[in-house]
């Protein structure tokens, strides 16, 4: 069964909000990547992946919203 545009938009907004909350938590204690510190490198990678995920969700939301008017 295919989801309606409204259901998909709601789901995408929820995923984006969850990702933004995770990003805020990661940014709280992040002080940059320290030389040869794998823990800070992993945290930096997690932040970059989540930021990219949020950007892709925003693009998909924008696409669906612009198609909604047609």
Q: Reduced to 3 states, what is the DSSP secondary structure of residue 29?
A: coil
- Checking if the pLDDT of 5 tops 60, the result is yes
pLDDT in tens, 29-58: 888 888 888 988 999 999 999 999 999 999
Contacts of 32 (CB under 8 A, 6+ apart): 40, 44
pLDDT in tens, 7-33: 999 999 999 999 999 999 999 988 888
pLDDT for position 59: 96
């Amino acid at each position: 069964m295919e989801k309606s545009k409204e259901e998909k938009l709601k789901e995408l907004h929820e995923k984006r909000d969850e990702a933004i909350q995770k990003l805020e938590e990661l940014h709280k204690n992040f002080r940059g990547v320290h030389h040869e510190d794998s823990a800070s490198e992993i945290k930096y990678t997690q932040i970059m992946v989540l930021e990219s995920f949020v950007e892709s969700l925003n693009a998909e939301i924008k696409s669906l919203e612009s198609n909604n008017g047609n």
